[in-house]
Amino acid sequence: MSSVQVLKKNEVAAFLETLPSDHLLFIVDEKLKDLKNVFLDLENVNKKKSVFYCKSGEETKNFHELEKAIEFFLSQGIHRKCILVSFGGGATSDFSGLVASLLLRGISWVTIPTTFLAMIDAAIGGKVAINSKFGKNLIGHFYLPLNNILIPDFLTTLPQEELFNGMGELVKYAFLDIAIYQAILSGEPLHLIMKRCIDYKNKIVKKDLREEGDRKLLNLGHTFGHAFEIHLKIPHGQAVLKGLEFILKMDNKIELLESFYKLCEHLSLPLNKYNFPKFEVIKELVMRDKKVQNVDEIDWINIIEIGKPEIKRESIEAFLQRAEIVYGEYVKLHQGS
Ligand SMILES: NC(=O)c1ccc[n+]([C@@H]2O[C@H](COP(=O)([O-])OP(=O)(O)OC[C@H]3O[C@@H](n4cnc5c(N)ncnc54)[C@H](O)[C@@H]3O)[C@@H](O)[C@H]2O)c1
């Protein structure tokens, strides 16, 4: 199981010194090179270091970049005790974990996430992947990091939009765990709330690494969220937020919707309007999703009440029919240009 440590930026070098390897491999989002407040000064780390700067965001999650990173590290005279450190947002950790899992049949790795979304979600739990032309995250597997290092200092350089993006996942956690919902509304410091999200995810991952049972709960809001993300080309967290709102509307959960809007308002989280497509487009994308169990059935996450999620298996036909009934009304209310 991965451990979580909350550190200050100036404590990172000392932490890296403690890692049990004489050669550290770094994958760093290239955009962070120019951010003075984020850039890691590795001068004080007295170990051999090999640094690969990956492309920022989704542009790194493909075979071409994977090959480049792997060949680069192999050219550096690596061995099985090398430890790979991922430094960047969720795209970087998805990519880095896959590289770590493939190098010499798998070396240890550590995540130092730099976006809010990656800190509370993407860098936790060992789902590592690149994208295919057939869809996002279709090439990968489960490969847990040794440690997750949480450095809230990095949030200071994060653009507002990226912070909102991560908040989408935060709202998801708040519906999964009432303690998180209450902590947000009671104004608990953000880093403590973040730690709660990480602990919640780690607890679930410990029971079910390969998403055969409880880990599916973390897909709350993702069934339609992924479809919105792909078609509307919007960030993952915002898509999850829309996906959660839609699933609550589907079953006309009025009280839960009120709680949802209350939380968004409390977090000053804007509910953006988008240019939603015809239902057929969304239907097609939902049917292609990984959550489809077989040709006829889909697993989706229902919220009975805040803190009480359940996995529901339903025929895809019935599920999509129910969705289609509310989709028109939803789009009318949330359509932008
Ligand atoms: N593995 C999982 O369990 C999981 C879960 C959720 C999402 N994901 C994946 O995570 C990715 C999204 O992650 P993300 O939202 O972190 O996006 P990202 O990694 O693309 O980062 C977003 C942007 O923020 C920039 N950035 C990163 N840190 C910064 C900082 N401190 N200051 C300023 N800018 C900074 C990046 O360069 C990038 O341009 C997607 O690829 C998604 O599929 C994975």
pLDDT band at 335 (very low <50, low <70, confident <90, very high): confident
| Nearest CA, atom 3, ligand 1 | 122
The best mutation among 30, 54, 115 to test binding of ligand 1, ranked by most ligand atoms within 8 Å of the C-beta, falls on 115
Q: Average of pLDDT values for 264-283? A: 93
Q: Average of pLDDT values for 273-284? A: 94
310 is catalytic: no
What is the pLDDT, as a whole number, of residue 290?
Answer: 64
Distance CA 236, CA 166 (A): 8
pLDDT band at 296 (very low <50, low <70, confident <90, very high): confident
3-class state of residue 48 by DSSP? strand
Number of H helices, E strands in the chain: 12, 10
Give the list of residues 6+ apart from residue 294 with CB closer than 8 angstroms, or none: none
Distance CA 228, CA 235 (A): 9
Which of 6-10, 68-72, 156-160, 250-254 has maximum average pLDDT?
68-72
Exactly one of 136, 147, 219, 245 is catalytic; which is it?
A: 219
Is any ligand 1 atom within 6 A of the Cβ of residue 38?
Answer: yes
93 close to 57: Cβ distance less than 8 angstroms: no
What is the pLDDT, as a whole number, of residue 271?
Answer: 87
Pick from 241, 205, 332: nearest CA to 279? 332
Instruction: Tell me how crowded residue 308 is: count the other CB atoms within 10 A of its CB.
Output: 12
Distance CA 194, CA 171 (A): 12
27 close to 87: Cβ distance less than 8 angstroms: yes
Checking if the pLDDT of 80 tops 90, the result is yes
Checking if the pLDDT of 225 tops 80, the result is yes
122 close to 90: Cβ distance less than 8 angstroms: yes
Checking if the pLDDT of 86 tops 90, the result is yes
Distance of alpha carbon 153 from the chain centroid: 19
| Nearest CA, atom 34, ligand 1 | 158
What is the pLDDT, as a whole number, of residue 64?
Answer: 98
Model pTM score: 0.94
Checking if the pLDDT of 6 tops 70, the result is yes
pLDDT band at 336 (very low <50, low <70, confident <90, very high): confident
pLDDT band at 124 (very low <50, low <70, confident <90, very high): very high
